[in-house]
Structure formats: structure tokens, C-alpha cells
Amino acid sequence: MKRTFFTALLIGILSQSALAQDPDKTKLDLYFDALESNNKFMGSVAVSRNGSIIYSRSTGFADFENKIKADENSGYRIGSISKTFTSVLVMKAVEEKKLDLNQTIGKYFPTIKNASKITIENLLYHRSGIHSFTSDSAYLTWNTQQKTEKEMIDIIARAGIDFEPDTKSEYSNSNFVLLTFILEKTFRKSYAELLKEYIVQPLGLKNTSLGGKINTSKKDCKSYKYLDTWVVEPETDISIPLGAGGIVSTPGDLVKFSEALFGGKLLSSESLEKMKTVKGQYGMGIFNIPFYDKAGYGHTGGIDGFISVFSYFSDGNISFAMTCNGSNYNTNNISIAVLSAIFNRPYDIPEFSTYQASSEELDSYPGVYSSTQIPIKITVTRKNNTLVAQGSGQPSFPLEATEKDKFKFDQAGVVMEFNPADHTMILKQGGGRFEFKRD
């Protein structure tokens, strides 16, 4: 759900094979101890095999200000993993003959361009062409405000389309907000009721529901970014993401959901195969998440300061889930470490050493930087003893000094190298190298 400045979630593909095993829990605990003691990660993980939890761990705080520690029952907003749940509900409606994947959405949303040509299947596969409202720069100016169904439809309709239906795949949160409304109209029940009736109650999920206002007294987690200390993030109103990103859950519930979905306990084999079929980059609410030679399916999520992932590997009948409410580290590396422990691959416990930039150095970097290579401006500011970068229309993120004039943002694999004398900055990420000049 969340729009991030630079995003990447890739798990490497190599040829060596490894069998699933019980992890070295002591080493994994040391791994998470290192993250926690260095303020790199707050969150929870769980791994199950054949329906039994073989590793779980929670670190950090559900509520940092009041020092409420996170535990296995702490509820995290799971962002776009909600789309997997929504896709299951749509396929339930198809199985009950209440919806047809080939029916168009014109009768539901006559004000949306191409609605008479866009099918429910197009929405599920991100092939509708409907513009994603979260991609607009103005989104972060209103995402904390409650919206009605009519207001959300109007916002989506005004944004227009990016391409003709079924001509390509392009991720759009608008698709799954519209699917939420279609489900509610079809069943004449709220999305929250449908989630409970068709998934939560049958599976015995104890900590999964459509979210609301965050309430830490009810085990909800707040989300944070790290700026010398953990700073609470603004809270998206759940009336906006709904079935695109509004569910709250735990890793324990997510692995149980994963086992049921891929074990054929929620849908028919035909419906499940339809969900797993990839068109372009996406299946229906799931996509491929390989780990070396292991074929996996799952989804990722991000909303406010929350980050999440779940994946299922038929080889070993392994389900993995991670939920995070504060990260100052590349969470993909955490996923790789946990899965490496499960699949008997080597991984290292990270060591952290930070260069302490002087006040004079920190004062030499702020400004607005532009590049002829990519059409985005990056504003760099100083907040106390931390540099903060922000791409135009994007959330800000903290930079960690690693040596003189060099900073990084581990969560997205970003490195920034400044030359204060020339008023320039080089940004590196994912093998790319982009030159910026301060305006």
C-alpha cells in the first residue's frame, strides 16, 4: 500500500538445493538481538512447517513512547498483504456464483473511465489501467483523513487511466479498493464482516481483522521511523486502503492463513491455480517470491511505517511471515537470513559501526538536489543529528553516516555520497549510479 521512494524486494535465485530443517534458534535469536540492540528493527517473525511453528521472535516495542513491548499477539498493519485476503474473498464469490471474473465493473462505477471494458479479473491482475491514487503527490496530504465510499470512488475516477485494459500489468491500489466495494455490494455485508465470516472464523485466526484507529491497549502497534530515536509515523485512515491495505494481523496468523490457502482449505484447486497464475508480474493477490532454487508464492506490504511479507514454499511445506513497525535496516535481508536458517544456507549476524558526522559536516549537506538522469528532486534536511532525504511527493527517510560525506538508507539499499565543495551528490541503488547537483 505504501508508496516508497526506492523499493526493492528481491530474493536471490541460484542453483544450489537445500532441504528445510529446524533452524538454529540460538543463532537466529542472536541475529535479532543484534538488530534490536542497534535500533535496526522492531517487529515479529514466524515460520511454520507442516502446520507447526518452528521459530518465532518479536523485537522492539508496540508502543515505544509507553515502552510496551511487542509480543506474538501484537497486531501490525500488513498493508498490501490485505490484497491476498481480498482475492480469496473475490474467488469465494466466484465459487458461489455471485460474481464472474469476466464481468465488467460498469454497473458499479459508471464514472470511472473504461469501466464498461474493465473486468473483475483485470482488477485482480493489476491489468485494469486504472491509475493508483497512492501514486499522486497529493496523497500524503490527505491519507490521514477519513473518506467515504463516494469520496474514494470520486478520487479514483478523477485520476483517470494509465493504459487500456488488459494491455499490460501495472500495480494499482485503486483496483483493490474498488474490489472491496464490489464485495460489499455483492454480499450486502461490510468488508470486515466478510473477512471474519469467510477467513478469520473458519481458520481460527485470533489477531486478524480490518483495522481501525490504532489502539495500543488492544494490542495494536504504532509504526515508527528512526531519527536518532524511534519517531511515530502518521496514521493512514483505514477508510482509505480497506481491502487494498487495511488489515491488521500477526505473523502467527499469517502463516496459518498461508498454510490454509496453499493447502486447499480455503478455495477449490481451480480457484487457487487461478490465483497463482501470473500475468505480467502478478497473480491474483499473490506473486512469485523465489528463494534460491525454491519456488515460493506470497505478497509484501507497506503502509505508514509498517512493512510486511509472507511467503509459502511447497518444498518442505514452509510458511514464513514477518511484520515490522519500525525499520532502520533492509528488511529483505532479514527475510533472507530467516529463510537461510530454514533452508540450511549460510548467513551472517550483522555487525554495525556508524561514523559520527560532526555538526559542521551535517550543516554542509542540506538543500534541494536535481539530476538530469532521473526526473525527481531530492530534498536533504537536518533534524538534530540526522540527515533526512525526501524525494518529491514521497515519504522522507533517514540517512545513516558510514564515513565522511557518505550516508546510507539500509531499508532500500540506498547510498548517497556528497561533495559539499562542488554542491553535488551521487546516489547509488540497485546497481544504478545517479549524479545530482544542489539547486
Same-domain status, 363 and 338: no
Report the C-alpha gap between 385 and 400 in whole angstroms: 10
Same-domain status, 325 and 432: no
> Domain of 276?
25-342
Question: Which tens digits make up the pLDDT trace of 174-232?
Answer: 999 999 999 999 999 999 999 999 999 999 999 999 999 999 999 999 999 998 899 99
Residue 410: the pLDDT is: 84
Same-domain status, 68 and 127: yes
CA distances from 81 to 61, 135, 250, 310, 374 (A): 22, 18, 12, 8, 30
By C-alpha distance, which of 83, 436, 391, 127 is closest to 261?
83
Report the C-alpha gap between 146 and 369 in whole angstroms: 34
Same-domain status, 279 and 406: no
Residue 187: the pLDDT is: 98
Strand partners, 42: 326
Cell numbers for 139:
496523497
Tell me, what CATH number does 366's domain have?
Answer: 2.40.128.50
Same-domain status, 278 and 175: yes
Q: Is residue 36 included in any domain, yes or no?
A: yes
Same-domain status, 395 and 314: no
How far from chain centre, in Å, is Cα 118? 26
Summary mean pLDDT of the chain = 94
Identity of the residue numbered 95: E
Same-domain status, 38 and 95: yes
> Total structural domains in the chain?
2
Question: For the chain, how many helices (H) and strands (E)?
Answer: 12, 21
Q: Is residue 3 included in any domain, yes or no?
A: no
Asked if residue 383 has pLDDT above 80, the reply is yes
Pairing verdict, β 209-210 and 306-313: unpaired
| H/E stretch holding 89 | helix 82-95
Which of 342, 376, 408 is the last residue before a domain boundary?
A: 342
Q: Is residue 268 included in any domain, yes or no?
A: yes
H/E/C letters for each residue in 363-398?
HCCCEEEECCCCCCCEEEEEECCEEEEEECCCCEEE
Same-domain status, 255 and 366: no
Asked if residue 249 has pLDDT above 50, the reply is yes
pTM as predicted: 0.86
